[in-house]
Amino acid sequence: MKRIIAFVCVIVLAAAVLTACGQNPIVNGGNLPAPVSSAADNNVNSVVEPVSSAASSANTPAGGNVKVEASKNSKASDGLKVEGIPFFDDYSKYVYLLITNDSGADCDLNINVDFFNAEGKIVGTTSGSLDAVGKGTTVCEDFSCDEEFVTYEYKVVSSENSYKPVDQDLALDVSVLTNKVIVSLTNNGKTPARYVWYDVFFYNKGQLVGHNYNYCEDADSEIKPGATERSECSFYGEGGFDDAKVFFHGEGDYIS
């Protein structure tokens, strides 16, 4: 879903460098503050906090800010673990699905989400797909509905992957500032990582208070082997945040 947007963003990059959640911004000429903490496991999640270590804040809940639950009829292919994070604000009603691939094999994902109101009537439906989900990694995808809903039902189906996974080769560092995070991703593999985006969930005292996302890539929409790319993502909510979780995803070469 976000990968499609990346093609448009490449054109914008050729004209200007954007800041504060624009595509591929340059921050302070590359002079970044030292990372507060980094993810212990690639692409699982990075929990960062200005006043404590990642390990001490690792139990920060991932729950949403509203009482919206997944239907018991929700289904996922064997070996896929799905966790939903609902988040409503004044402008949108989202459910973010965190999908962990514990199947033991790389795969592509096709996802459908239906939304239901308090009377059990369907009020929305949407779908998406994710390529190159490596075994042992976690990916995040968003699904929205323009109507009020209290339950959602997902169907996540895996299939043979058509692109090489790269998430397992990307090392994540996150620096936390007052109103934003700066994300650094280093490609320790041999395959260029393409169209890499990340989602940031902002927390205050354990409660989800905001979400944003951005891309982390060079002018070719890649993180080349051995290279580090950085971008920043701003927090626009009220009251600030004291913790954040980051999930990222990209893809490698097409498997012919």
Nearest one of 60, 66, 133, 75 to 94, comparing CA atoms: 66
Nearest one of 81, 117, 118, 77 to 97, comparing CA atoms: 81
What are the tens digits of pLDDT across the range 78-132? 999 999 999 998 889 999 999 999 999 999 999 999 999 999 999 999 999 999 9
Q: What is the mean pLDDT of the chain?
A: 82
What are the tens digits of pLDDT across the range 141-160? 999 999 999 999 999 999 99
- Distance (Å, rounded) from C-alpha 231 to C-alpha 183? 6
* Local structure of 231: helix, strand or coil: strand
**Residues carrying CATH 2.60.40.3230, the chain:** 69-159
Q: Are 204 and 243 in contact (CB under 8 A)?
A: yes
CATH 2.60.40.3230 for the 69-159 domain, yes or no: yes
| Exposed/middle/buried for residue 58 (C-beta within 10 Å: 0-12, 13-18, 19+) | middle
| Exposed/middle/buried for residue 208 (C-beta within 10 Å: 0-12, 13-18, 19+) | buried
Q: Are 193 and 222 in contact (CB under 8 A)?
A: yes
**Alpha helix ranges (H) inside the chain:** 2-15
Model confidence, pTM: 0.79
The tokens describing 156, both together, are 């996540």
User: What CATH code would you report for 2-60+163-251?
Assistant: 2.60.40
Q: Are 123 and 147 in contact (CB under 8 A)?
A: yes
The answer on pLDDT for 249 being more than 80 is yes
Buried b (16+ CB within 10 A) or exposed e, 190-200: ebbbbbbbbbb
